[in-house]
Structure 1
Amino acid sequence: MIAHSEWKHGEVFEGITEKGNTITIDGDSAHTHGPSPLEAVLMALCACTSVDVVSILQKKRQSLTGLRVTAAATQAPAPPRVFTHISLTYAVRGKLNRKAVEDAVSLSKNKYCSVSKMLEKAATIDYQIVYPDGEPEP
């Protein structure tokens, strides 16, 4: 896997993967052109675990109709301002078995999500699961 960044102007950079996919990263405090580098890391964490959870639930033949993963992070007060704590909230929708959802999230966090496993070296990561459509099936 190879990626690089290219300075565009000011504090704006374009991240480019070897396959040509791009993301604009904005180091300015206003972040008007894109996420900050650390916001992009949180987005990557949410996407990584989402891929796992969707895949696992589909394999378990669960009727997932929606998933939103939100990450709220606390940073160290002084540079380097690494994440020290990350709280993930999984909002799942559909006709779902509670145990299947809990197992999918646990497997993602503890086994499959590479981004989570890397971030755990610096930050504690906890999570909660919410069911906006009401209670899932037992």
Structure 2
Amino acid sequence: MNVYSDWKNDSIYEAVSEGNKIVFDTDSAHTHGASPVQAVLMALCACTSVDVVSILKKKRQEITGLRVSAEAERAPDPPQVFTKIMLTYTIRGKVDRRAAEDAVSLSKNKYCSVSKMLECKAEISYEIALPDGEPEA
């Protein structure tokens, strides 16, 4: 994997990987893009989402939607790494709680490379919400 980042102007940077671009804004308002640290948290949510959807589909669950949100705490002193991350998985559709718990656990403990990198410094916990309820047995 090869990537690079170009400083565009003021607080704007453009990162490129195999033709895909992401704009970062290091100004505190972040009006032109996410900060690099926000992007890491966004990458965690996306990475685990891919795993959970794939696993639930393989388990023949009727998933119709997934939102993974993250709330994070950072160390007070530089480099201000993440110290705690709480992920909330809101899974829509007819999904069995046991299948959801298995999918999230597999993502966290085996498949999500972003999670594995971050847990070297941060405690990562999660909760699962099934707003559509569980399917009838």
Distance 1:62 1:84 in 2: 33
RMSD: 0.8
User: Residue 88 of structure 1 corresponds to which residue in structure 2?
Assistant: 87
**Separation in structure 1 between the aligned mates of residue 131 and residue 76 of structure 2, nearest angstrom:** 34
Look up the equivalent residue of 2:6 and give its one-letter code: E
SS of 2:77's equivalent in the other structure is: coil
Pairwise CA distance, 1:80: 0.8
> What amino acid is aligned across from residue 10 of structure 2 in structure 1?
G
Structure 1 residues 46-125: aligned runs within 5 Å: 46-125=45-124
Offset from partner CA, 1:59-83 (integer Å, 9 cap, x none) = 1111000000001000001111110
Count of residues in correspondence between the two structures: 136
TM-score where L is the length of structure 2: 0.97
CA apart distance, 1:11: 1.2
Consecutive unaligned residues in structure 2, runs of 5 or more: none
CA distance in 2, matches of 1:129, 1:15: 33
Given that 2:87 and 2:126 are in contact with CA atoms closer than 8 Å, whether structure 1 keeps it comes out as: yes
State, as a whole percentage, how many aligned pairs show the same letter: 65
TM-score, L = length of structure 1: 0.96
**Structure 1 counterpart of 2:29, which letter?**
A
